[in-house]
Chain A
Amino acid sequence: MNSVILRAAARLLVGLLLVFSVFMLLRGHNEPGGGFIGGLLGAVGFIVYAIACSTDEAREALRVPPEKIALFGLGVALLSGLASMLFSDDPFTGQWLFLGATEDDKGLPLSTVLVFDIGVYLVVMGAILTLVFALEEEI
Chain B
Amino acid sequence: MSWVLSLPLLIPFGAAVLAFLLKDRPSGAWVSVLGSGAMLIASIVLMVNVLAEGVIAGQMGGWPAPFGITLVSDLLSAVMVVITAITALAVSIYALADVRPRIAGLGYHALFQVLIAGVAGAFLTGDLFNLYVWFEVMLIASFGLLVMGGSREQIDGGVKYVALNLISTILFLTGIGILYGMTGTLNMADLAVTVPEVENQAMVTVVAMMFMVAFGVKAAVFPLFFWLPAAYHTPAFSTSAVFAGLLTKVGVYALIRMFTLVFVGDISFTHEVLLWVACFTMVTGVLGAAAQNDFRKILSFHIVSQIGYMILGLALMTPLAILGAVFYLVHHIIVKANLFLVAGVASRIAGDTALKKIGGLYAFAPLLAVLFLIPAFSLAGFPPLSGFWAKFLLVRAALEDGHGFVAFVALAVGALTIFSMTKIWAEAFWTPHPEGKEPRLSQLDAATRWSLLLPIAGLAVLTCIVGLFPEPFVQFAERAAGQLLEPTEYIETVLGARP
* Interface, chain A (partner B; CB < 8 A): 67-68, 71-72, 74-75, 78, 81-82, 85, 89-94
Contacts and interface: CB of A to CB of B under 8 A. Distances in A.
A75 B10 CA distance: 10
B6 A91 contact: yes
For the complex of A and B, 10 pairs with smallest distance between CB atoms: A90-B2, A75-B17, A93-B62, A71-B20, A91-B6, A92-B61, A90-B62, A92-B60, A90-B499, A93-B61
B21 A78 contact: no
Given A74-B17, A85-B3, A91-B6, 17 more contacts: A67-B20, A68-B20, A71-B16, A71-B20, A74-B13, A74-B16, A75-B14, A78-B10, A78-B17, A81-B10, A90-B60, A90-B499, A91-B2, A91-B60, A91-B61, A92-B61, A93-B499
B21 A71 contact: yes
Nearest to B6: A91
A91 B3 contact: yes
Interface string B93-113: 000000000000001001000
Nearest to B21: A71
Given A71-B20, A71-B21, A90 B58 contact: yes
B59 interface: yes
A133 to B, nearest CB: 15
Interface in B394-414: none
A92 B60 CA distance: 6
A68 B19 CA distance: 12
Interface residues of B, number: 18
A91 B10 contact: yes
Contacts of A78: 10, 13-14, 17
B61 A90 contact: yes
Nearest to A72: B17
Nearest to B9: A91
A110 B3 CA distance: 24
Interface string B36-76: 00000000000000000000001111100000000000000
B267 to A, nearest CB: 36
Nearest to A94: B61
The residue among B10, B20, B61, B110 with the most chain A CB atoms within 10 A of its own CB is B61
Nearest to A116: B61
Nearest to B19: A71
Contacts of A81: 10
Nearest to B61: A92
Contacts of A71: 16-17, 20-21, 110
Given A67-B107, A71-B21, A85-B3, A90 B13 contact: no
B17 A90 contact: no
B58 A82 contact: no
A39 to B, nearest CB: 16
Contacts of B13: 74, 78
A82 to B, nearest CB: 7
B14 to A, nearest CB: 6
Interface string B457-492: 000000000000000000000000000000000000
B149 to A, nearest CB: 15
The residue among B3, B58, B499 with the most chain A CB atoms within 10 A of its own CB is B3
Contacts of B20: 67-68, 71
B62 A89 contact: yes
A85 B107 CA distance: 29
A94 B17 CA distance: 22
Nearest to B2: A90
A4 to B, nearest CB: 37
Contacts of A91: 2-3, 6, 10, 58, 60-61
Contacts of B61: 90-94
A119 B318 CA distance: 47
A46 B237 CA distance: 37
B62 A82 contact: no
A71 B59 CA distance: 26
B277 to A, nearest CB: 36
Contacts of A75: 14, 17
Contacts of B14: 75, 78
A82 B499 contact: no
